[in-house]
Structure 1
């Protein structure tokens, strides 16, 4: 993999690659903005360098509970917390299962410079995070810290679930110690170290100068007195110089001994630390700079030990995650008997929950299997019922077709009945008219009889000569009586036929026709009577004498005529009632015809619905058959 990292002002027409949408398009930024541009192979990426004020107030900052102190947090621009398995957040540690392509950025701030570090996980490598120093620039103690932003796509292979793309957008923010505190602490440490060194140097200079002065005086006075004569001034000076030299040597030896012990302890501590002893501590019991250094080293070792423990915990967590992912992959392939190992770390509850979920899922699958068996059984029953329904629908269609034919024939018959009923009603109306005419004729006859009786008194003699004529009148009256009897009988028959109007309409027509004929016969007989009466009237003028004897006969004929009139009234009433009944029969027949036509139309609709039901039943049979197959597969 080839690398090319540098800071440069980004031109407006530069190839920016993938930039975060949250930061806006690159064209919207000023051309003089600083961007960290790096290349990997043929791809070129651009990361903007931001100031603290631009990122500290973002609400998407997620604090990091673990990791180096200079890593403050991570910005997730996807709108959710980025899990630790997606982006490595610690330096020098095994990052675990890294995405195939991910860009992260961190910033380490030291006392005199800042290192902008960009982490790249190369494709196919999941073991380590390769770090490259992209740029180093002198910032000074008061420059604060900055951040870099990256965005790339990565692919995740989930086995049987499939392969999809996820956008990773993250910011790692690093914060050094406060600049003022760091500068002040550095000044204090330098002043303390300088004072100690200068004290030793000054003491050594004073002692050396004094020894030289003593040696000079001793040499100057050597010729004047013996060197070993301690009573002489020269001997006393020599003795004083020797004692002072011994005291100085003892002080220096004591001082160097005090320095040698802590240094040796620090050396042993460094050897144990280099050997990898996490319990190594610098045993320096002093209040000077060496004690302070030892204390700082002990604190550093404690932090390293804590970091090691955290790393071991992270490694154990990562192993648990790897094992859990392996179990999940096997479960995804269909092996539901796999269960994750429950540990005491933070993943233990997750593993236990997954195991519980798998147990419940297994139970659910068992219930699904039983439900599928029940669905199969029910589907078979539905299939049998659908077959029977289809056969019934076919038979029903045939029966409805036959019924429709019968209803059509019934409609034709009802139309014929309606037509016959109308004809009967018309005949009844004509019979009623004839009866009324006969009744009027009888009334006229009665009036004529009364006139005859009035004129009989004037023509009594002539009436007597017409005795034989009177006999003929008597015979005619007898005929009228016979007609009256037959009319009564026919009226009775008409009443009976009227009671059976539905089935005996034709018989009633015959009876009505007979009534009409009798009425005509009565009318002709009445005409004959009228002619005879005229003859009698003519002869009455000639036979006034015999009129008195015929008066009784005339009165009897009048009574008979009155009876005939009453009989004709009764016949008229019966005929009128019969006409009304026939009219009602005609109306009922028309209504039955309309009802029969409606039944025929309804039968046609039912037949169409039955055919549709039959077709739907066939579709249901096919669907249920498919459901049975799916249930068998399930």
Structure 2
């Protein structure tokens, strides 16, 4: 590239590079600042909106609580509270409907008292509604964060409820009001930034509470499965730099939490709109960098014309000198630096001309000397050390000639010494090779013996492992048997104790049965007395009937009494007979129980004796098992000590085997080295022999 074009390009780049760097820095900073500013605005808006919605809902809850207190303090019943509900609906138009229900959840008053479908809400049961149960439980006004569909309107609603408490603190009903979520959407619709900005509210379960598109609210769209919900779960408030909305568009947002309901409200805007705003501002600000770039290009063109002309003439002079025209000189004109450069080029051309002439003369002398030294070096390389160079006055080449003569003499002496050393090396290497071969054979035999010993030690170690495992198994079986014996002994003792206890209880029961049998004899005597009384009462009733018949009409009432007494006597006789039969059965059962108790007592005595014999046998077995367990434990300790000793021996044998293998390998390497050394000695002897023969000739 010519210098004028280079200067122009350099000037343009000098203006363009800072402009580009400033533009990139401005671009990155401007876009970051724009997004950060918008997010901060969104954060402030959603914080204020959450506080505002919380205040609105709290005010409505307080108003509903006040209305409930007024209804509770009035003289009219729940059904006559329509004026208070109407006043509450008029003062707070955000309420869609205000209703009053009794403790059973039946609606008794409503404002308005007619739904959109023409039906009256009176008589509807709301006892299954969460806000109704929560108001009764909390005994204060509650704001239900859940979103539900109205039974009559079919629209998504939220509810606020407050209990109606009497003067004694007793709850007599619940006043509640519904708010259409469209009203909440209208409140949030005022929050927007730019063309694509909007605010959204979602309940705790992710269902839509407020959205610019009403279908999201009516269809109860849930955000739980979307990326935005993962960001909202990080905390009560914050910012989101990038996420994909329900339509897949890239957005950034700020979110907050409404304290009264726990709803999440967030305000977002698309990155595409921010990019459009940023691009528009960038285009508006790009005019000044373009103007500066154009000015830099013009200045670079003018500067190139001033600098390029003298440099072009200097370049032509340099090209001529390089072509061999050493008489050519450059004009010393133009800028100071270029003029000094032209003078330096002229001086260089003159000095170069004189130096070329001197070098031509010196080159011829050097070439002759170098040719002679080369021929001498060829003779030395061929093995001729008898001749010497004739060195004249040639400066540095003179020192080179003396060095070559000294080198030739030293090489002749060195070759003689090498010949003697080669002879000695040949005889020594032969002796080393023979000794190494014998050592390798002995080492191989020793390694075979060590391997056989290592195999025997490994078999011994395996046998020790098997014996230790069998001893360990025997110890475990003995310990388990000891545990079982102790458990069996304890069970026998418990059985003996339980049998003796049962025998004592059975003896007590037999005594009580005998006493009860004696009581039955007394009852039988009393029953006999009752039978006699019944016979006498019957006889008395017959006599009374006779006397009443004699008295005629005056004794009719006495006859009725006599008849009743006779009937009572008959019943007493019947009852007495039944009592005698029952007493007989009780006595037979008591005798059978006493006999069974005596048989059980005898069996219990036999069982106790047998159990005690079993306990003694199990105790003796437990002591024998304990002794066997101790013996097995001692055997195991001895086996472990023996195994540890075998392990140490095996480890030592393994080390010996490894060392033996290393020794065999090292001996083989030494034998190979000895053979190589012997071959090298023979080769050196042949080489030195050839040189000495040529030198001798």
- Give TM-score, length-normalised by structure 1: 0.27
- Give TM-score, length-normalised by structure 2: 0.25
Please tell me whether Structure 1 or Structure 2 has the larger radius of gyration of its CA atoms.
1
Larger fraction in helix: 2
